[in-house]
Amino acid sequence: MEEHIDINGWKGKDKVEIYEEGDIYVLHQHRKVKETGEIRDDIAKVPKSNVAHLWAILDKFCQVGEIYGYRYIMAKIKEFYGFDVADDAWNGGVNRSAYYFPFQYYPLKILEAQGKIQYFGRGSIVRIL
């Protein structure tokens, strides 16, 4: 049985639907192409382990109620996994799909849907639990 969680979207996106398939989370949303107005399906698959590891990082290094910025979280993720990628390259080009989305952005969105954090558009978070 699938569990669905909806997150309200913004800027040409509808809500994000998150569900589980075995050991992965699937994030499904529709995006409007700005230039053409075409609506496309956008599906991302994230290993549950990425979400669990990020929660372990936040649980260890972030206090409830405090705001933590994008770069702080990125540094902790890089340290945890031993990633050797420059800070400025973390979410640029090929690094965006290799590191930023699977290890930071999508896991943060899932943790937000689970009610563990509040995620802000510029990448900062507040830990709730």
| 22, two tokens | 């075995």
In the prediction, which pLDDT does 10 show? 41
Residue 86 to residues 42, 65, 74, 75, 122, Cα–Cα distance (Å): 28, 29, 11, 10, 19
Mean pLDDT of 49-65: 98
Architecture of domain 48-127: Orthogonal Bundle (1.10)
Q: What are the sequence ranges of the domains in the chain? A: 5-46, 48-127
Per-position b or e across 23-52, b if 16+ CB within 10 A of its CB: ebbebbbeeeeeeeeeeeeeebebbeebbe
In the prediction, which pLDDT does 129 show? 94
Mean pLDDT of 64-73: 97
Mean pLDDT of 39-47: 92
In contact, 57 and 76? CB cutoff 8 Å: yes
| 73, two tokens | 């979280």
pLDDT in tens, 76-127: 999 999 999 999 899 888 899 999 999 999 999 999 999 999 999 789 999 9
CA–CA gap between residue 40 and residue 76 (Å, rounded): 33
- pLDDT of residue 51 exceeding 80: yes
Q: Give CA torsion, residues 43, 49, 52, 56, to 10 deg.
A: -130
pLDDT in tens, 2-35: 666 665 544 555 678 999 999 999 999 888 777 8
